[in-house]
Amino acid sequence: MNKYAIILAAGKGTRMKSDLPKVLHPVCGTPMLQHIINKLKKIDIDKIVVVIGHKAEKIRETIKDDVIFVEQTEQNGTAHAVLQAVPHLAEKEGTTLVITGDTPLIEEATLDSLLQEHIHSNSKGTVLTSIQNNPTGYGRIIREFNSLSNKHEDNKLGNVVGIVEEKDADVNQKKIIEVNTGIFAFDNQSLLEGLPKIENKNVQNEYYLTDIVSVFIEEGKEFGGYLLQDPNEAMGINSRVQLSEAETIMRKKINQKHMDNGVTIIDPSNTYIESEVMIGNDTIIYPGTVIKGNTIIGSGVTIHSNSEIQNATIGNYSIIRQSVIHDSVVGQYVQIGPFAHIRPKTSIKNKAKVGNFVELKGTTFGEGSKANHLSYIGDSKVGDGVNIGCGTITVNYDGKNKFKTIIEDGSFIGCNANLMAPVIIGKNSIVAAGSTVTKDVPEDALTISRTKQENKEGYATKIKNRR
């Protein structure tokens, strides 16, 4: 059976007080809307239609997936939004899932279970419901046998016969704690037939998708309800506070997943790992660590406190101490930090050492090479077994262009050396401390470039006496 999905993502999100469309606000590094698309793809949805409205172009620019965008130019309610997707689903047989774009915590297993429950029932529509001890703000589920507080004698609630929005609910209906999550499964043709029959007879004068329940009931069609076990999954995000709450819930799940896979996280509540990060077993992560983007961390890695890693690959058994690594590749058995800065387009080979207050940018740093402290190596190619002395600088920028420095295998660069790019330091050569190198250095050569030292005895006393 074919499966389709309609994501409702046209709302303004007024309470977010943001220039960014609500559905593009990230939760653990990924936009809310992207979370939902990713999960729909995992359950093999054949076609995804996204209904957009507020700042539609921004959403189109951000979401690069193979989805169909349709615009709701007027905000006339959820049924009106779904109606915009009809041209792309007309005459198609199958099941259509309708989901709001601000529910990033929903799990693909839940969506798949909802679909299976619907497909194997006699219902033409099924709503995903949850229990909320404080149901204020939610639409209430009206069952055949009233509500969860009034079960039928066979302990079944019966089919759904209505969904009443908070603003339209009476006193008794507001006591119901089973609520609408805004997620539905429909027989596609029944959905398309029912949408035009929905009226806007409510306080908001809007066309509510929830009113399709009454349409179905009047036509003798059953409408089911599938109760969600974890109400947090259906949490809708409408404010910055709720965004923060969703971050906390998702971060806990992410950390739990990694720990279940053999990662030691010393303090999960003080460790931030985004949703797309991959981590190998026996890695140890200390408090205050931030790991973002499409980062891949191998096995047996140790990441000490207050390190930040983004869109990087870290090889097995490497050690990171209080350092920042962005858009770079780090090999195996590498030691970085403390307080190193690995900037984009850097590749550090196996067993290399990059120490405190060393900055690498756009550089290949060879196997077993060392820069233990206080150096800047930019736009460079450093060979294997190279030693970079304290205070070494690759002078790569003339105010307009960047130039490349090449340091070949086995070279030794003394402290406080300035390498004026473009320049090549030959294999197994030595650059004396304090040198400013402006010309290529031959292989196996010693280069000294500094003024001759002159000692003037007794001058120190004369200078002091002048003060």
- Evaluated on CA atoms 350, 352, 357, 363, the torsion sign reads negative
Q: Is 202 helix (H, G, I), strand (E, B) or coil?
A: coil
Judge whether 343 is annotated as a binding position: yes
Judge whether 433 is annotated as a binding position: yes
Judge whether 15 is annotated as a binding position: no
Judge whether 205 is annotated as a binding position: no
Strands (E) located in 239-362: 264-265, 272-273, 278-279, 284-285, 290-292, 296-297, 302-303, 308-310, 313-314, 319-320, 324-326, 329-330, 335-336, 341-342, 347-348, 353-361
Nearest to 111 by CA among 217, 212, 4, 31: 4
Q: What is the torsion angle, in degrees rounded to the nearest 10, for the CA atoms of residue 330, residue 332, residue 333 and residue 339?
A: 10
Judge whether 188 is annotated as a binding position: no
Judge whether 39 is annotated as a binding position: no
- Whether residue 438 contacts residue 421, with contact meaning beta carbons closer than 8 Å, is answered with no
Judge whether 93 is annotated as a binding position: no
- DSSP class of 397: B
Q: Which two tokens stand for residue 31?
A: 């936009």
- Which of these is catalytic: 25, 80, 258, 373? 373
Nearest to 417 by CA among 406, 430, 426: 430
Judge whether 10 is annotated as a binding position: yes
Alpha carbon distance, N-terminus to C-terminus of the chain = 95
- Whether residue 107 contacts residue 254, with contact meaning beta carbons closer than 8 Å, is answered with no
Judge whether 180 is annotated as a binding position: yes
Q: Which residues contact 330 (CB under 8 A, 6 or more apart)?
A: 312, 313, 314, 315, 318, 320, 336, 342, 348
Cβ contacts of 288-294, under 8 Å, gap ≥ 24: 292/29, 293/29
Judge whether 165 is annotated as a binding position: yes
Counts for the chain of helices (H) and strands (E), in that order: 9, 39
Judge whether 122 is annotated as a binding position: no
Phi/psi at 310 (5° precision): -140, 130
Separation in Å, CA 359 to CA 46, 181, 269, 337, 373: 48, 49, 30, 10, 9
- Whether residue 66 contacts residue 25, with contact meaning beta carbons closer than 8 Å, is answered with no
- Evaluated on CA atoms 89, 90, 93, 98, the torsion sign reads positive
Judge whether 426 is annotated as a binding position: no
Judge whether 72 is annotated as a binding position: yes
Q: Is 266 helix (H, G, I), strand (E, B) or coil?
A: coil
Q: Which residues contact 393 (CB under 8 A, 6 or more apart)?
A: 375, 376, 417, 418, 419
Judge whether 361 is annotated as a binding position: yes
CB hemisphere CA count around 465 (13 angstroms): 5
Active site residue 341: no
Binding site listing for Mg(2+): 102, 238
Binding residues: 8-11, 22, 72, 77-78, 102, 139, 165, 180, 238, 343, 361, 376, 387, 396-397, 433, 450
- Residues making up the annotated binding site for UDP-N-acetyl-alpha-D-glucosamine are 8-11, 22, 72, 77-78, 139, 165, 180, 238, 343, 361, 376, 387
Binding-site residue numbers for acetyl-CoA are 396-397, 433, 450
Catalytic sites, residue numbers: 373
